[in-house]
Amino acid sequence: MVMEAVALNHKVFGEGKPLVIVHGLFGSLDNWQTHAKTLSEYFQVILVDARNHGHSPHSESHNYDLMADDLNLLLAHLNLQKAYFIGHSMGGKAGIRFAQLHPEKVDKLIVADMGVKAYPPHHELILKGLNSIDFNTTTSRSEAEKSMTEFIQDNSVRQFLLKNLYWIEPGKRMAWRMNVAVLEREMPQILKELPQEMCSMPTLFLRGALSNYVLDEDLEEIEAQFPNFTLETIDGAGHWVHAEKPKEFLDEVLKFLIF
């Protein structure tokens, strides 16, 4: 069966050269609205909800070729010939795959704390926490958080995930906006290595110094695929580099895209 692109939910801020931002796994465009408002002083910022996330359609498939197709459909819908792209984590791999398949549509690419390599499974506890909630009996956000705490001790991670809760029936029944079942089933696709295809556009790999997603030993492989790449490391930041060090993150983004 041929899987088709889906029409991504998106929000547009400002005017100017287009800048598309793709969030990471279990996130949504809402996570990026503060940055979008700042960046909209310089660009037309387009935030997207990835398939199976936020307000975008749920699908039975989730892989980077499909995510690239989704982005291509979005550009066509907005009548955009070319754009800057920022992708964080899963969104970074989606941005890379789009750049591989449609290099003529990517002016510059920023990959936030993600490499091109395969990653070992490491979301087991998060998935257990998400699946621990019985929505037939859970009637409040605090009850949902209590169920998750057994598996997810980090409060900031719990709060990040809880942003995905919504009321199907106000005051009666809640659910996850993201398609947890498909994301869990398709996790091997999310963690797998990207195809080894060269991208010549200027690309910034922006990593957190406290993160282990992009290691020094990964740089040779990155350079082989991105001969025109730059690496910047933000001190004091982990994997959520844009949220943990927002000013430093935005400084690097603007320096790369404008100056």
Catalytic annotation on 58? no
| 87 and 143 in a common domain | no
Residue 28 to residue 249: CA distance in whole angstroms: 18
Could you write out the DSSP letters of every residue in 75-93? HHHTT-S-EEEEEETHHHH
| 68 and 15 in a common domain | yes
Question: Residue 167 belongs to what domain range?
Answer: 124-178
Catalytic annotation on 242? no
In this predicted structure, what is the pLDDT of residue 139?
85
| 106 and 155 in a common domain | no
| 129 and 102 in a common domain | no
| 242 and 222 in a common domain | yes
Could you write out the DSSP letters of every residue in 94-141? HHHHHHHH-GGGEEEEEEES--SS------HHHHHHHHT--TTT--SH
- Active-site residue, from 35, 62, 88, 239: 239
| 156 and 87 in a common domain | no
Domain count for the chain: 2
| 114 and 17 in a common domain | yes
Q: What is the pLDDT along the chain (259 residues), one digit of tens a residue?
A: 456 899 999 999 999 999 999 999 999 999 999 999 999 999 999 999 999 999 999 999 999 999 999 999 999 999 999 999 999 999 999 999 999 999 999 999 999 999 999 999 899 999 999 999 999 888 889 999 999 999 999 999 999 999 999 998 887 889 999 999 999 999 999 999 999 999 999 999 999 999 999 999 999 999 999 999 999 999 999 999 999 999 999 999 999 999 7
| 172 and 110 in a common domain | no
Phi, psi of 87 (to 5 degrees): -135, 135
| 201 and 113 in a common domain | yes
Contact criterion met (CB below 8 Å) for 242 and 257: no
In this predicted structure, what is the pLDDT of residue 1?
46
Element (H, E) at 257: helix 246-257
Element (H, E) at 204: strand 203-208
| 174 and 158 in a common domain | yes
- Active-site residue, from 28, 56, 89, 211: 89
In this predicted structure, what is the pLDDT of residue 2?
53
Contact criterion met (CB below 8 Å) for 197 and 227: no
Rounded to 5°, the CA angle 148-138-31 comes to: 55
In this predicted structure, what is the pLDDT of residue 57?
96
pTM score, whole prediction: 0.95
